[in-house]
Structure 1
């Protein structure tokens, strides 16, 4: 899972990152002075090909534009799921990807959308985005579509429990190199459930013939024009303080959603 323009390798030292928003200082006249998004590691200045830049529209503040890559993932997930109006949709896992996926689902006319998470504090942000909220023990059943984004075996089991007969479970979690137990007996077979992998590196098959990566990136950026999405950015770190503050963000138990580095 190397990021574009990455240097080095994990764990450290590595120059990583893929959610950079900056202002064009030199380049094509139509972009000069404009804020743009780029899949580029964290640093104060860089040179990038024009094709890698997504202009940030006036309706989206630069700070919120850092969520563009996450919004692309959520948009692609709905294309993989085939979500539609009036669907009963459950999202298991209330991180940034889960919340953005839920926010898109809630915009479908008549859709009944519930976020399921083990952390009760996620209720406030879920409801602010127009979603219902439930802890796993009270998760709704008989969903038409379930998005799993908790990256945990327990969450995946919850997703299976939420799915109705012949429903589709869209797996959005990234597990890395670990092995995760999956309860594929019992309800999984009895209900004839579908399990679909969704990953943003490729445009979903249902759109691939007409949508380029650039078109999808521009659409995701336009979708960020909602002030409520500012709730997904929970911490701002001055770049000069990154060495002192980043370890806490990477440590187990960090309760935030998105930490933004400000240069």
Structure 2
């Protein structure tokens, strides 16, 4: 049977959907234990949406399901109005949903330029052409340098990733994520392990790249959440506790109780 590629609403001439990414009643069980249960998410196009909650709330499991690293036990996931519930991770990334990880996923012994170029090779279908002459990928250098400039790493293009500060390593990871030209970026703890001096530049960088994209973040630093996010979904024990603006969720008694730290932590 001939396969017919499904068109997006925009390709079919329909208006773009209001939500860039949706989860409808997604659940994940391991044996009889539900790590995530009946979670609904509606991520507005062009917004920064935070997913927060105490440890064990199910945030990372949700991310894994949204990017298809884990197959949901039940529920539906829509990207740009298309059902991606059964697609593998590689196809989801090709359709514009890309995730960065809490632990830096760059190649430590490659230069910054080379790291971004590898990501660009993947985007343009050249990821397995490492044995070819560098001349064959030289055309990607201009785009790679532009991406490094976008994240403030132009002067570090020739440095090995292992020689970067922690904050610059995260900036490099964002550059490699941008190389895949995502419409939706999922950032897992982008400021985890950072000193105070690195948090502000990375927060500003996320705000900058988020102007043209939809971003979903998991983040424990609530000052970062408050400065970046337009909407916040709070999870507790695998279920949605509440959703709203930072002002709304930070004053919610159930949220305060879930964090067990009182108002000062929010």
By percentage of residues, which structure has more helix? Answer: 2
TM-score w.r.t. length of structure 1 = 0.25
Task: Say which structure, 1 or 2, has more relative contact order (CA 8 Å, 6+ apart).
Answer: 2
